[in-house]
Each structure stands twice: as structure tokens, then as C-alpha cells.
Structure 1
Amino acid sequence: MYVVLLSYTAPSEEIDGALPEHHKWLGEQYDQGHFLASGAQRPRVGGVIIVRPMDRARLDAILATDPLAVRGLAQYEVIAFSPTRTAPELLLINEAAPH
């Protein structure tokens, strides 16, 4: 699994203009089963995405299609992790834990 931290690199007006396309892109990634959770950081300096396990090159290719990336409005930090413990509510998404 991955945690992706987005950091905005442009003024909020430019970010706001790209958010409708970014939200559409997020929806497409959920529809394809890639993303598990996402949302804005507080304070509003970027976002966070939790991603299912996949090849890192595939994730990088997906992130490159984000309208925020295409427009150069955000930087991405990708943190890979292997969950070894999960709350019962999340067992279905923890593909590493025995069910």
C-alpha cells in the first residue's frame, strides 16, 4: 500500500481552478479500484491519498495523469508501507492481513 502526500506548488487560485478536474480524476481512480481514501490536508497545503498495493511504476504513471501534476501545481511524496495490523473495519482493504 501507499500513502501519497500532495503538496501544492502554486497559489490557491490556480489550485481552485484545477480542482474540478482533479476531483474527476480521483473518481476515475476509485472506479478502477486504485484508491482507498483521499482528502485535503489541514491546513490546506495539499492532499493525502491512500492507494492499494500495486507496482510502484504503475502508481507513478497514474499520479502523472493527475491534472494537478499535468499543470505543475503539486508535488507528490509516495510512502510505501505494509500494514501488519488493521482495525476490524479495515480488514477488507488490508490485503496483507489474514482474513
Structure 2
Amino acid sequence: MFIINLHYKVPLEEIDKHLPKHIEFLNVKYALENFIASGRKVPRTSGNILSKMKDKAAVEMIINKDPFRANNLADYALI
């Protein structure tokens, strides 16, 4: 299991432009049962995703496809 900790690198206006694609990405991963929870932090500086996957390399491959990462909008840390 991993906590995927995101930290936004750009203003929220830029994040919001990509938010629909990010939500679409999350929904696909929920359907595949890769992710079990996610949400924004308060204040809205970042977010977290909880993954039940056991293989760190597989998690890294998946998060590389997240629009926030693909567009260099957020840094990611796996815990």
C-alpha cells in the first residue's frame, strides 16, 4: 500500500485547467481498483491518493500518466 503525496508547483488556476483530466484519470484507476481513496488537502496546496498496490515501480508507472505529473504541475512522493 502507498500514499501518493502530491504538491502543486503552479497556481491553482493552472491546476483547475487540468482538473477534469485528473479526475478522469482517478476514476479509471478506481475502476481498476488501483486506488482506494483520494482528496485535496486544506488549504488547497496539494492532495493525496491512497493506493492498495504493492509494487512501487507499478505505482510510479501509473502516476506518470496522471495529467498533473505529465504536465509538470505537481511533485509526487510515494510513502
Judge same fold: TM > 0.5, yes or no.
yes
**Residues 1:75 and 2:75 aligned together:** yes
Q: Gaps (5+ residues) in structure 1?
A: 80-99
Equivalent position SS for 1:42: coil
Higher share in strand = 2
Q: How many residues matched?
A: 79
Q: Gaps (5+ residues) in structure 2?
A: none
TM-score when normalising by structure 2:
0.97
Whose relative contact order is higher, 1 or 2, with alpha carbons under 8 Å and at least 6 apart?
A: 2
Identical aligned residues as a percent:
38
1:89 is aligned to none
What is the Cα-based RMSD across aligned positions, in Å? 0.6
Where do residues 1-99 of structure 1 align in structure 2 (5 Å cutoff)?
A: 1-79=1-79
Higher share in helix = 2
TM-score when normalising by structure 1:
0.78
